[in-house]
Amino acid sequence: MNAPEVVAHRGATAEAPEHTLAAYRNAAVVGADAVECDVRMTRDGVLVCVHDRRIRRTSNGRGVVSALRLAELEQFRFGARRGRLDRWKDDEIIAVTDEPDVENGRVLTLDRLLEHVTSTPGVVRLAIETKHPTRHTSRVEHELVRSLRRYGLLQGDRPVEWAGKPAFRVMSFSQLAVRRIAALAPGVPTVQLIGKRLRPVRGELLSGSMTAVGPGLALLRSDPAFVAQAHAAGKEVHVWTPNTAADIDFLVSLGVDALITDHPDEALRRLGRG
Ligand code: G3P
Ligand code: CA
């Protein structure tokens, strides 16, 4: 059984506010294999690294990302630290804290993250998650592919390889988004994230062309046999978001392929790599 890859969820978010270069730098410093990043499209078609539909949890501003232009987003200060790391699924509003400024608090664009990652190629790979792709028809995927090409990460229809592995992969809860990426660049590894609604159609799901499936930890707690079924169907299993030693040990015992965690340092320690 291979040891799972360690992926820093939204950067090393236990160390720095999510989706900031500080969090991504920390992920590389602790030795994470990859970093996870959520992308959304602004009103003027720029991909930015923001998890929520609205910006008020992670900035001092208000509004919906897709309704704001980049210049408008740049007026706000981003980098608010989340209140409780184990409640990352909640939509509750957490008061913006007065964290020290990170990259001047400017919203992180995907291009800026790609520039950072490619400035030291091979150090840390990327797991990019597209959010709400239908809002912009296929513009999100087209723009994503364009950016990846611009930074030399996508050549032809395949990612460049760093240490024998693809430099990036693309994930989404949306089956439509995963299919769009596969159509635009068939050599790109894709991860079909699994939310509650996909559970009943597991057989159909596992017959798709994605490289991996991405269930939440809770799904595997109630249904650990899913890992073996996915492997039998030729799919890797990338799991979000194990944040405790017990979670990590449980997933390692199941033989999953990637741990997407807020605590990459803890995961690396459990795997004997820290
Ligand atoms: O990596 C998958 C995981 O990030 C999905 O959940 O809400 O953190 O984007 P979320
Ligand atoms: Ca995500």
Most ligand 1 atoms within 8 A of CB, residue of 36, 54, 243 to mutate: 36
Give tens-digit pLDDT for 182-207: 999 999 999 999 986 555 456 778 88
If we measure between CA atoms, which residue out of 49, 3, 2, 30 comes closest to residue 263? 30
- With the CA atoms of 272, 252, 186 and 28 taken in that order, what torsion angle do they form, in degrees rounded to the nearest 10? -30
Residue 89 CA: nearest ligand 1 atom is 7
In a mutational test of the pocket of ligand 1, which residue from 240, 261, 263 has the highest number of ligand atoms less than 8 Å from its CB?
Answer: 240
CATH of domain 5-52+110-270: 3.20.20.190
Name the residue at shortest CA distance from atom 10 of ligand 1. Answer: 89
Q: Is 240 in the pocket of ligand 1 (CB under 6 A)?
A: yes
- What distance in Å separates the CA atoms of residue 195 and residue 254, rounded to the nearest whole number? 20
Torsion of CA 141, 144, 150, 156, to 10 degrees: -50
| Domain spans, the chain | 5-52+110-270
Q: What is the pTM of this model?
A: 0.91
- Dump pLDDT digits (tens) for 5-29: 999 999 887 778 889 888 898 899 9
Q: Would you please indicate which residues are annotated as catalytic (active-site) residues?
A: 9, 51
Report d(CA 150, CA 156) in Å as an integer: 12
ipTM of the complex: 0.99
**Token pair in block for residue 110:** 């995907």
Q: Measured between alpha carbons, how far is residue 35 from residues 26, 43, 159 in Å?
A: 10, 26, 16
The ligand placed nearest to the CA atom of residue 262 is 1
Find the ligand nearest to 88 CA.
Answer: 1
Question: 66, 41 in Cβ contact below 8 A?
Answer: yes
Nearest to 235 by CA among 169, 163, 144, 183: 169
Q: What is the pLDDT of residues 126-176, one digit of tens each?
A: 999 999 766 668 999 999 999 999 999 999 999 999 999 999 999 999 888
